[in-house]
Amino acid sequence: MATKTFGERLHHAVAERGPLCVGIDPHASLLSDWGLPDTVAGLESFAFTVVEALADRVAVLKPQSAFFERFGSRGIHVLESTIRQSREAGALILLDVKRGDIGSTMAAYASAYLDPSSPMSVDAITVSPYLGVGSLRPAFDLAAANGAGVFVLALTSNPEGPAVQHAVTADGRTVAQTVIDEISQVNAGADPLGSLGLVVGATIGDSGHDLSKVNGPLLAPGLGAQGGTPEQLRTIFGESLQNVLPSYSREVLGAGPDVTALRSATQRAAHACRAALG
């Protein structure tokens, strides 16, 4: 069992490197913008350049698994190398996989990403709760056993999200609030931070949901090119602002492939987030 929980390790990383997560999203248009072919070689060059530029200076790197998976086994090999190199440089790795299933299948997903013996073992993953938060228990349990983390989708920025997330349940709470409350219960009493987090989009505005008792990290994707601004975080998160992990992707990645330019874009984003989060 890990000597420190993910919540402890994330708290330390943010204190040391600042509150910032940067995505590694090698989709075809970004490869093209970088002058790279839409091939495994282009994927590898993109991912390894981001690691070289940022893995020794940001708290969290967030590879989007789908953009590696689309190249099959060779893409997965690049993902494994990206994870390994990022970890060696000191960044925490949040793998954006958004898995969600039941029983033995969920347990297998958990083992793939949260078991230290797996070649794709990471510090944390994203998951979907829409088969019920209880269906995610295998991931929660394995994460706890290995000092890893899990980020559960709660309030997303896509226009289709509110139809499900804002639907009202029999007890009067929204579906999203029931997810928030269940994660809050698991994190209760954790110090300095729980290891179960929530994903809350940076463009949702004041949704009327109560995040004050989560006591875990609040990943806020959608900053920069997707329209979110650091200043909007105050409206969304209120008194939970200290637990927010702002996440940038295209706004930073668009500065590549020059390593210095990537670092400068990251520094600007980090400065803006520090100012907004206080």
Catalytic residue numbers read: 98
Check: CB of residue 3 under 8 Å from CB of residue 147. Answer: yes
40 and 74 Cβ atoms separated by less than 8 Å: yes
- Kindly write down the DSSP assignment for every residue of the chain, as one continuous string: --SS-HHHHHHHHHHHH-S-EEEE---HHHHHHTT--SSHHHHHHHHHHHHHHHTTT-SEEEEBHHHHHTTHHHHHHHHHHHHHHHHHTT-EEEEEEEE---HHHHHHHHHHHH-TTSTT--SEEEE--TT-GGGGHHHHHHHHHHT-EEEEEEE-SSTTHHHHHT-B-TTS-BHHHHHHHHHHHHHTT-SS--SEEEEE-TT--------TT--S-EEEEEESTTSB-TTHHHHHHGGGGGGEEEEESHHHHTTTT-HHHHHHHHHHHHHHHHHHH-
Q: 198: how many CB neighbours lie within 10 A of its CB?
A: 27
Nearest of 179, 177, 197 to residue 187 by alpha carbon: 197
